[in-house]
Chains A and B, each alone.
Chain A
Amino acid sequence: MRHLIACLRRALFGSHDSPAGDGVPADIEWKGFAALLKRHRVVPLVWPVLKPRPGAMPADVQRQLAQEAASNAQQALFQAGELSILRAQLERHGIRSIALKGPALSLQAYGNLASRDAGDVDLWVDPSRYDHAVRVVLEGGYQHANPGGAQNRVLTASYRQHFHSFEFRHATTGSLLDLHWRCAPNRHLFPVTFDDLWARRVKLSIGGSEVATLPGQDLILFLCTHGARNAWYRLKWLCDVAVLVTESTEDDRQRLVKRALQLGLERVLAQALLLSERIFGVTRSPLLDPRLRKDSQVIDLVNTAERALTEDARRWAAAAPLSAKLTKFSNELRLRKSLPYKLHCLTRHLLRVESSGIVRTWRALLPTR
């Protein structure tokens, strides 16, 4: 882990005055190291650091990493294309959409599509037009993936209450799309409306079309909430936030702290900044209220995240084993002070709303048409 972090520091901050990594020793167990890169979804970031030292690693590991980086580049381009096409299709129907994470974030954080691990396309659409947006993507060749199969009203209503997106898979290309009606499963976690963000959207040019995405401080806070609700178990998420915060101006950082307070996300931001300090050794943020540094809830959140980084990733994935659910719940509960937020957490936990569990329950009760 120490060597991985050193590589990431070099990849992320090498050109700045931040501490440079100390490299990877030749006698490292390379297969395990390659697996660690994959577990944290950071092959595209680390490969350019390792590439200049081809003799240092076994040929098969070198081939594997080069292949993964190349295949990620191809995937990133296809996703950018898919994002541009989907956005245009939705726009033709008068449906506004905002790109979350994915290709848009890769451009915002790294200025390059292939620098970030390409997962799926995440699009947040105008919630008042969500059903229409679903019809548009289905007509565009996508099929329901999670929950799969035909939907009924009760199932959809339940899903809409407890989750934040439906997942679709393209019938021919296999591309994955998360179509969001809100930013997070818990509607109180990131309390910003679509209309508010749309009014302040940032436009990126991708493949000759303009794609809307989140503006500066909201982008960072959204990423912090996403990382926090997953206990930051992948370094990829922390890299995104660390690089965006490091490259912000001092004024932007002040605005970030102010915005976090405004949205009640001070713990979430403090966790991300403290974790970045601990993991990457990035400069201490003088803007962080000293009381937050000593806040026991924040300290617990940072400690949980540090443990999650080294634990089996399956413990923190959507379908975590029962033994991990309580830790996840306790982590989630600490993120915000707000009572409605905590009540929503509790409801989700009591109903065991994890992944598509609730869908399976509803299916058992109500046959889909």
Chain B
Amino acid sequence: MTIFFSGGCKNGKSTLAESCACALAAGGPLCYLATMIPHDDEDRLRIRRHVAARAGKGFTTIECGREILTALDHAPADATFLLDSVTALLSNEMFRADGTVDEDAGPRTAEALRELAERAHNIVFVSDYIYGDGPLYDEYTELYRRSLALCDRTLAAACDAVAEVCIGQHILYKGALPL
């Protein structure tokens, strides 16, 4: 089964996604696809909080900040994945370490994610809803928003279940959650 979650920041997306991944795995192999490449202390603290929240839930962590399909080579065929988050993955693909911007990252990442959803036994995706304010951004931020929306729409179309998470609750747009 494939599930896609999005919603506002610190609204409980990861917690709900972890519960769904654990339910889907049903005791089988459970892999956390860690996408954030830390750049500062704030990132490192955020990662420590997520690691602590996952502790004891049975996840094997696979670090994969780019080229997400390569993660499949490091997990058993019957693994259940949790990818948290699409947002960080696209950011790494688009804004490169050498300071350049890859303007084609959106379509490429969307296609890789669609293939990942197709090939993974079970997978839960987490993204961020960043579209509900005025269009007052610079060119690259707007490109990033447009590209993330393409990834989101692609996954929402491909996944069996889609829900928006809001302050720990969720609104179901498609399918049903395994809870």
Are A and B bound to each other?
no
